[in-house]
Structure 1
Amino acid sequence: MSVDTTTVKRVARLARIAVTDEDAERMTGELNAILGFVEQLNEVDVTGVEPMTSVTPMAMKKRRDAVTDGGKAADIVANAPATAEHFFLVPKVVE
């Protein structure tokens, strides 16, 4: 796959990035070099290679999956002018 200046300008417009003509020319070469490197990576045989989360072996930190109220309900409503059972009380605005 090859990128031309028209494609660079279109992507820049979609990303809402202002790109001058000389910047588009420079980016064309850079993006083509990146895509060439990605094509090289696609040629590597990775069958039998397990995905890694890090280059050094380590166990993932896990926490117990539990639903809680956060234990801070009283702290959250502490400065509210009016509360009831850890809820904010607000004036009625719709009849």
Structure 2
Amino acid sequence: MSELFPRNQIMGFVFSLVLTAVALAVHFLDLSFAAGITVLVITAFSQALLQFIVFMHAGETKDKWYIYGKVYFMIGMALITVFGTLLIFLWDM
């Protein structure tokens, strides 16, 4: 019976709620802009990765490392895009 209980999905849902509460706390704790953005970016990437792994069942196939490689590549491209945009628009380089 325990193998029929969706333990991973429930734990993923609870952790997703915790990440959402942390992101909401940024507003209520009146953090500085830099600290708030840092917390929001970390929680956003963590939640996206959690959703991908737990709820889209990315790790349950034979080629899971190929899928994870694509995820790492996607995160790298997103970071290059964000920091490249900041480099051009905010830091005038």
TM-score (norm. length: structure 2) = 0.31
TM-score (norm. length: structure 1) = 0.30
Which is greater in Rg? 1
Structure number having the greater strand percentage: 1
